[in-house]
Amino acid sequence: MDIKYALKFITRTLPVMVFLIFLSCTSKQEVTVKELHDHIEYLSSDSLKGRLAGSSGDSLAAEYIKHELLSYGFIPLPGDGLQRFSVTSRLVAGKENIMTLDGANLIPEKDFMPFAFSSNSGLESEVIFIGYGFMIDEDSLKWNDYQGIDIKGKWVMMLRADPETDKPASPFIPFSGDRDKAMLAKDMGSAGVLLVSGAAFDPQDTFESLNSGDFSVDIPVLRIKREVADIILSKAKISVASLENKLNDTRKPSSFPTGTVVNARAEIKRELRNTRNVVMALPGEDEILKDEYIIIGAHFDHLGMGGTGSSSMAGDTVAVHHGADDNASGVGMMLELAEKFALTKGSHKRSIICIAFSGEELGLLGSKYFAENPGIDLTKVNAMINLDMVGRLPETNVLQISGVGTAEGLKELVVSENDTNLISLVFSDEGYGRSDHTSFYGKNIPVLFYFTGAHLDYHKPADTYDKINYDGMVTISSLIFNVTEKLASSPERLQFREAGPKPETIRSIRKKIVTLGIMPDFAGIVKNGMRADEVYPGRPAALGGMKKGDIITGINGKIINNIQDYMFRLGQIKYGQIITVEVLRNNKKIVLLIQI
Ordered by start, the domain boundaries in the chain are: 3-90+273-489, 95-266, 506-595
The answer to whether the CB of 516 falls within 8 A of the CB of 570 is yes
Confidence (pTM): 0.79
Instruction: State phi, psi for 504 to the nearest 5 degrees.
Output: -110, 35
How sure is the predictor about 504, in pLDDT bands with cuts at 50, 70 and 90?
Answer: very low
Over residues 263-275, the mean pLDDT reads: 96
The class of domain 95-266 in CATH terms is: alpha beta
Angstrom distance (rounded) from CA 325 to CA 331: 10
The answer to whether the CB of 527 falls within 8 A of the CB of 534 is no
The answer to whether the CB of 447 falls within 8 A of the CB of 384 is yes
Residue 21, pLDDT > 50, answer no
Which pLDDT score, from 0 to 100, does residue 16 have?
Answer: 42
Which pLDDT score, from 0 to 100, does residue 19 have?
Answer: 42
Which pLDDT score, from 0 to 100, does residue 507 have?
Answer: 27
Residue 506, pLDDT > 90, answer no
Least confident of 89-103, 395-409, 451-465, 519-533: 519-533
Angstrom distance (rounded) from CA 356 to CA 331: 7
Report pLDDT digits (tens) over 392-402: 999 999 999 99
> Exposed, middle or buried by CB within 10 Å (0-12, 13-18, 19+), for 250?
exposed
Strands 447-451 and 98-101, how do they pair? unpaired
CATH of 3-90+273-489, one of 3.40.630.10, 2.60.40.3080, 3.40.630.190, 1.25.60.10: 3.40.630.10
Residue 582, pLDDT > 90, answer yes
3-state secondary structure of 114: strand
Over residues 469-480, the mean pLDDT reads: 98
Over residues 413-432, the mean pLDDT reads: 94
Please tell me whether the peptide bond between 78 and the residue prior to it is cis, using omega within 30 degrees of 0: yes
Share of the chain above pLDDT 90, in %: 79
SS3 content of the chain, % helix, strand, coil (to 5): 30, 25, 45
Q: Is 54 left (phi over 0), alpha (psi -120 to 50) or beta?
A: left
CA distances for 281 relative to 67, 78, 284, 287, 391, angstroms: 13, 10, 9, 15, 25
The answer to whether the CB of 522 falls within 8 A of the CB of 563 is yes
Angstrom distance (rounded) from CA 331 to CA 342: 16
Of the candidates 578, 574, 515, 577, the one whose C-alpha atom is nearest the C-alpha of residue 138 is 574
The answer to whether the CB of 298 falls within 8 A of the CB of 384 is no
Residue 420, pLDDT > 90, answer yes
Sign of the alpha-carbon dihedral angle for 561, 567, 573, 579: positive
3-state secondary structure of 178: helix
The answer to whether the CB of 339 falls within 8 A of the CB of 370 is no
Which pLDDT score, from 0 to 100, does residue 239 have?
Answer: 98
Residue 523, pLDDT > 80, answer no
Cα–Cα–Cα angle for 194, 198, 204, nearest 5°?
105
CATH fold of 506-595, please? Answer: Pdz3 Domain (2.30.42)
Residue 437, pLDDT > 90, answer yes
* Helix 470-489 and helix 33-43, axial crossing angle in degrees, nearest 10: 100
DSSP conformational letter for 324: I
All residues at 6 or more sequence positions from 149 whose CB lies less than 8 Å from its CB, including other chains: 128, 130, 255, 256, 257
Which pLDDT score, from 0 to 100, does residue 316 have?
Answer: 80
End-to-end distance of the chain based on CA atoms, in angstroms?
Answer: 48
Cα–Cα–Cα angle for 539, 540, 542, nearest 5°?
70
Share of the chain above pLDDT 70, in %: 93
Mean pLDDT across the chain: 91
Report pLDDT digits (tens) over 29-80: 799 999 999 999 999 999 999 999 999 999 999 999 999 999 999 999 978 9
Cα–Cα–Cα angle for 73, 76, 82, nearest 5°?
135
The answer to whether the CB of 393 falls within 8 A of the CB of 463 is no
Of the candidates 297, 447, 453, the one whose C-alpha atom is nearest the C-alpha of residue 382 is 447
- Name the H helices within 417-469: 437-441
Q: Do domains 3-90+273-489 and 95-266 have the same CATH topology?
A: no
DSSP one-letter string for 64-102 = HHHHHHHHHT-EESSTTSEEEEEEEEEEEE-TT-EEEET
Report pLDDT digits (tens) over 537-560: 888 999 899 999 999 999 999 999
Residue 596, pLDDT > 60, answer yes
Cα–Cα–Cα angle for 338, 340, 345, nearest 5°?
115
Q: Is 251 left (phi over 0), alpha (psi -120 to 50) or beta?
A: left
Which pLDDT score, from 0 to 100, does residue 520 have?
Answer: 86
Residue 333, pLDDT > 70, answer yes
Report pLDDT digits (tens) over 245-263: 999 999 999 999 999 999 9
Over residues 96-112, the mean pLDDT reads: 95
Residue 22, pLDDT > 70, answer no
Q: At 543, which helix (H) or strand (E)?
A: helix 540-543
